[in-house]
Amino acid sequence: MIKSRYHWDLAQPTEYITDDLAKKLKLSPIVKKVLESKNLVQENNILDVLEDKVLDHDPWLLSDMQKAIDRINLAIDKNERILVYGDYDADGVTSTTILVNTLQQLGAQVGWYIPNRFSEGYGPNEHAFRNAYDEGISLIITVDNGIQGHDEIKMVQDLGVDVIVTDHHEIGRTLPEALAIVHPMHPDFDYPFKYLCGAGVAYKLSQALLSHPPQQFIALAAIGTIADLVSLTDENRSIVKRGLKILNDQTPVSINAILKQAGYNDQINEETIGFIIGPRLNAVGRLEDASLAAELLMVDEFEEAEFLAEQVEHFNQERKDIVAEITEEALSLAEEQVQQGNLFLLLAKENWHEGVLGIVASKIVETYALPTLILNIDLEQNHAKGSARSIDQVSMFEILNAHQDLITKFGGHHMAAGMTMDIENIDELRKGLNEWMKQLSESTSLAPRKHVDVLLNESEITVKNIQDIQKLRPFGTDFNSPTFEVNDLNVKSIKAIGQEGKHLKVALGENQLAALYWSYGHLAKEIEMGQPLNLIGNLQINEWNGNQSPQLIIQDIATETIQILDYRSKRKHLQFTENNSNTAYVIHPKKDKTNEHHYYYGETIESQYDKVVLRDLPTTMNEIEETLKQLQFSQLYLVLQHDQSIYFEGMPSKALFKECFKALINKQETNLAKEGMMLCEFLKVKPEILKFMLKVFSELDFIYNEDGLIKINSHSSKKDIETSRLYQLRQSRIEVEKRLLYDDFSNIKKWIKSQLS
């Protein structure tokens, strides 16, 4: 049995689309099911998804908008110097680009500044604000940051510089003392949609300033919206749909250059932004100064854009290498904490690149399904800095906010946060976060869960249906690409693919559905031909040589029957260690136990394990029968290590024992060192068989050894050869090898299943 990594929560719609409405809107059965799973059953809600109508809330409804516009216009009229203060991620650089270009069109004297992630950190920075004041800046406008910059904003306002905050991040207990705060979640205002990203807020400010901003600004806002993983509903959905159309019809030179460097020349969709454009814009700020990314977005000449995009691509490749190295180290630390029972993983180490810790944290959460904070320890600065990622059941903002006395500075939202803290507080914070999680676990299940939209039959997985599903795009946060469940699909073929067999590819069911499971190539050794599988995943269309076919990208996999897996070959290696708490090892009584999960054959196993490994070959079939009767498991691994095999040597016949004994009697005494090989040739046996027979004779007291001479014991009593313990052990060993090493594996599995209680 392969246990699913997640609990699958299949959507249970309480309302359904009427047949008349489905007919009116020409909804295919599978689209109808998907919409119902997302509780979209009313005509207006369905049309919001299907149609390209513009949803554009009045920007003047945003908090302090009038105050902000009045101050900006005053600055323009008086030719004051304005600074746009941005952020170093994709949302931050698109926000900066939108607002700088807006102010330039109005003739403002405007500059822009993006703080360095490493030397200045996230959000308002006192040194940068003082420099702005020294350079004659009289108005600072923050984009995609500022809501947590209380001290810095008060400081610069006291110097006479006005600050307008435009942000979308979680608002803390108090608001900063800025001249104006333009924020969709401002408690004193009622903007119709609360979940704009930073670029979305910047675009609304641009609308208020220009009335009709250039369409390119919508494209930039779409990039920020997708890259920042905000809710893809309501106004955000409209921004993204319009932005994608603009990106395809009038691709900005900067985006063209990025895609050219990435080797991408296909249609631009939300995945293009999420996996190609966004990561590259983010990569610059993760490793160096994000100004390069903003400069790229602001250029109009393709040659200059190409030059800058080449540098961006270099940063992206470097980022990938650094992430891989840190992830390997972080996974090792995470495993130790998981073994200790930690429910919140706080991982800290020196010389971890701070810019990629959010990506690493996401990979740790994906592996262990626990909220994770990754910190780089900087001994020179005496602080630790990093990023956190959460699970659905835990608000990262709430849990860190509850421990802010141990944290110097942090900002974020439900699923992610960034922070700085003193090194000496790390252990206390880890303890506090785990105590908080322990209390939460008493009332809330922390078991990882996956939402499943629709249960499908194999016959419903067609190219036509997948094409219909794609009409619902774009997909994203709060409107995810539908996850489907399919059950009881028999495995027709299976193999590990990619470098070092890292990924799994299977063909399933009567239609040979191709399915891919990234990073799970090791399952190729655990899944059997013909075995029925249950899977959840996303459907795609695979195109090859002009042919189209359905393809499932697997998110999780499970089998309902126990698995007995053949690992007897030296070419097969287990993918887990002997310290795994979910795995029991059954070993030979002569071998030493090295941990609490080691058991001897026949020994009572009271704990229940997911996996059981029969590591060593048992001495007798009775031993393994006693073990199997008490086992409960999902997977049983047959490794059955042994020093040597005696099955093909066999058991000497009684006639051979008689002939050997007769030869010894005739000689009365035999010098084994000198005459052993002659005796082997006479009996036509190998030396190992002769040694075994002599040991049996010695055990039965038929012979004895005196100074290297084998002599007959004339006083021995008559005994049957079969009463010898050595004879019986060899007989048992031969039976064990016959049944467990050399029988057909299908017969071995059948026998093992018959022994299970």
544: left (phi over 0), alpha (psi -120 to 50) or beta: beta
Q: Which pLDDT score is estimated for 257?
A: 97
Hey, what are 627's tokens?
A: 């073990």
Q: How many CA atoms lie within 13 A of 280 on its CB side?
A: 26
Confidence class for position 601, pLDDT limits 50, 70, 90: very high
What's the mean per-residue pLDDT of the chain?
Answer: 93
Whole-angstrom distance, CA of residue 449 vs CA of residue 509: 26
pLDDT band at 58 (very low <50, low <70, confident <90, very high): very high
Structure tokens given for 139: 């108005």
User: In 10 A of CB 544, how many CB atoms?
Assistant: 8
Highest mean pLDDT among 66-75, 624-633, 743-752: 66-75
Residue 708 pLDDT class (50, 70, 90 cuts): confident
CA separation (Å) from 164 to 64, 121, 178? Answer: 9, 20, 6
Candidates 595, 596, 646; CA nearest to 617 is 646
pTM for the complete prediction?
0.76
- pLDDT(143) > 70: yes
**Residues contacting 348, CB < 8 A, separation 6+:** 374, 375, 376, 377, 384, 386, 426
Does residue 728 register a pLDDT over 70?
yes
> How far, in Å, are 83, 194, 327, 643 from residue 203 at the CA level?
17, 15, 36, 72
Dist CA 451 CA 366 (whole Å): 15
CA distance 96 to 474: 25
CA nearest neighbour of 535 among 576, 481, 491: 491
Q: d(Cα 326, Cα 349) in Å, to the nearest integer? A: 10
In this prediction, residue 69 has a pLDDT band, given cuts at 50, 70 and 90, of very high
Strands (E), 602-655: 611-616, 635-641
**In the predicted model, what is the mean pLDDT of residues 47-54?**
89
Indicate whether 632 pLDDT > 70: yes
Query: To 10 degrees, the CA torsion angle through 570, 571, 577, 580?
Result: -90
At a CB cut-off of 8 Å and minimum separation 6, what does 545 contact? none
Share of the chain above pLDDT 70, in %: 100
**In this predicted model, what pLDDT tens digit does every residue of 183-196 receive, in sequence order?**
999 999 999 999 99
Q: What are phi and psi of 53, to 5 degrees?
A: -70, 150
Asked: is 5-20+449-558 a CATH 2.40.50.460 domain? The reply is yes
Q: Tell me how far CA of residue 423 lies from CA of 121, 397, 417, in angstroms.
A: 16, 20, 18
Alpha-helix runs per DSSP H in 106-233: 126-134, 150-158, 198-210, 215-227
Taking only the tens place, the pLDDT of each residue in 106-119 is 999 999 999 998 88
Dump strand ranges (E) for 509-572: 513-517, 532-544, 547-558, 563-566
∠ CA 517-518-523, nearest 5°, is: 55
Mean pLDDT of 269-290: 95
- Contacts of 714-720 with C-beta under 8 Å, sequence gap 24+, read none
Residue 575, pLDDT > 80, answer no
Q: Which two tokens stand for residue 502?
A: 């890292």
Long-range contacts, stretch 456-463, CB < 8 angstroms, 24+ apart = 456/30, 456/484, 456/485, 456/486, 457/486, 458/486, 458/489, 458/509, 458/510, 458/511, 458/513, 460/29, 460/30, 461/486, 461/511, 461/513, 461/539, 461/550, 461/552, 462/550, 463/541, 463/548, 463/549, 463/550
Decide if 393 contacts 376 (C-beta within 8 A).
no
What is the 3 state secondary structure string of 675-699? Answer: HHHHHHHHHCCCHHHHHHHHHHHHH
What topology is assigned to 645-722 in CATH?
A: Arc Repressor Mutant, subunit A (1.10.10)
Parallel, antiparallel or unpaired: strands 598-600 and 583-587: parallel
- Residue 570 has a pLDDT of 76
Q: Please list, residue by residue across 550-583, b when 16 or more beta carbons sit within 10 angstroms of its beta carbon and e when fewer do.
A: bbbebbbbbbeebbbbbbbeeeeebeeeeebeeb
Query: Angle at CA 141, nearest 5°, toward 135 and 142?
Result: 110
The DSSP symbol for 275 reads I
Q: 57-312, which class in CATH? A: alpha beta
**576 pLDDT higher than 90:** no
User: Pick the residue with more confidence: 641 or 574?
Assistant: 641
**Pick from 250, 282, 235: nearest CA to 273:** 282
Q: Tokens standing for 260? A: 């050219």
Q: What is the mean pLDDT of residues 646-666?
A: 95
**How far apart (Å, rounded) are the C-alpha atoms in residues 114 and 290?**
7
Overall size of the chain counted in residues: 757
Reported as a pLDDT band with limits 50, 70 and 90, residue 309 is very high
- All structural domains of the chain with their residue ranges: 5-20+449-558, 57-312, 340-446, 562-642+738-754, 645-722
> Residues 220, 98: contact at Cβ < 8 Å?
yes
* 94-103, 372-381, 478-487, 571-580: least confidently modelled range: 571-580
pLDDT tens digit string along 148-180?
999 999 999 999 999 999 999 989 889 999 999
Q: How confident is the model at residue 756 (pLDDT cuts 50, 70, 90)?
A: confident
Check residue 286 and give left, alpha or beta (phi > 0: left; psi -120 to 50: alpha). Answer: alpha
Q: With the C-alpha atoms ordered 448, 449, 450, 456, is the resulting torsion angle positive or negative?
A: positive
Q: Provide the pLDDT for residue 544.
A: 87
pLDDT at 542 over 70: yes
Measured between alpha carbons, how far is 331 from 334 in angstroms, rounded to an integer? 5
Q: H-type helices in 376-425, by residue range?
A: 396-401
Map residue 493 onto helix, strand or coil. Answer: strand
pLDDT band at 757 (very low <50, low <70, confident <90, very high): low
Q: Quick: pLDDT tens for 355-403.
A: 899 999 999 999 999 999 999 999 998 999 999 999 989 999 999 999 9
**Of the candidates 156, 155, 120, 153, which has an alpha carbon nearest to the alpha carbon of residue 138?**
156
The pLDDT of residue 373: 97
Q: Residue 529: its pLDDT value, please? A: 86
CATH topology of domain 340-446: Diaminopimelate Epimerase; Chain A, domain 1 (3.10.310)
